[in-house]
Amino acid sequence: MPYSPEHKAETRVRIVASARKLFNRRGFSEVSIDEVMSAAGLTRGGFYNHFATKDELYAEAISRTLQCEKTGPDGKTLDFTMPPAYIAQQIIAVYLSERHFLDIEDSCALVALPSDTARGGAAVKQAYRQVLETMISLFQASQGDHPLARRRAVAIATLCVGGMVLARAVDDTRLGDEIREVAMGEALETGGWGVKAPAAAAE
């Protein structure tokens, strides 16, 4: 008896969740389809019922990163009915928090996978761009009708993603913490909110 559409959708979500954790931890080239399926509790044969290639899976894993902006720095779900400026500050806190720094497996692809994405195919790069554009749009909305709204938004996104990438890359925890702190301050200042991070960001 064929599986229901709901079962197939749930299985696809499991595969993507497994892939995202493994890709974030070890990188695209170091993870096999067998490993992805095994971690999802499935067999390799089922992979091709959902994806034609590993690249296609990778692109979807990146796309699912849009979900990572829905949790605030205190671990609670963000209320997107709040003013855009509030949402923007919370996203900055999420990206540059210690909690995000330590959570490699569930990290956003914007932080975890930029090098792999640069070497990926068109679908992978398109997915990464779409996620980045979504992040930039959220920051741009926080700037209202300011003439430099788009420029500020791009700068804030760059500080968030770049700051976390550098903080994770260095072997000195103190320097990594300093990078995150400075990047957060500069991002908040660029947005017009001063340099003090939301209190929850330190948790």
pLDDT at 105: 81
27 backbone φψ class: left, alpha, beta (φ>0; ψ -120 to 50): left
Percent of the chain with pLDDT over 70: 86
Rounded Cα–Cα distance for residues 114 and 66 (Å): 15
Q: How confident is the model at residue 166 (pLDDT cuts 50, 70, 90)?
A: very high
The length of the chain in residues reads 203
Do residues 128 and 65 lie in contact, with contact meaning Cβ atoms separated by under 8 Å? no
Domain boundaries, the chain: 5-53, 65-202
Q: Distance between the two ends of the chain, CA-based, in angstroms?
A: 49
Intrachain domains 5-53 and 65-202 with the same fold: no
Output the CATH code of domain 5-53.
Answer: 1.10.10.60
3/142: higher pLDDT: 142
How many CB atoms within 10 Å of residue 114? 14
H/E element holding 114? helix 114-118
Q: Are 125 and 109 in contact (CB under 8 A)?
A: no
What local confidence, expressed as pLDDT, does residue 78 receive? Answer: 67
In this prediction, residue 8 carries a pLDDT of 86
Whether pLDDT at 201 is above 50: no
pLDDT tens track for 33-60: 999 999 999 999 899 999 999 989 988 8
CATH topology classification for 65-202 = Tetracycline Repressor; domain 2 (1.10.357)
Tell me how far apart the alpha carbons of residues 119 and 127 are, in angstroms, rounded to a whole number.
13
Q: What is the pLDDT of residues 61-97, one digit of tens each?
A: 888 766 555 555 555 566 777 899 999 999 899 889 9
Question: Among residues of the chain, what percentage have pLDDT more than 90?
Answer: 53
* Residue predicted with more confidence, 103 or 88: 88
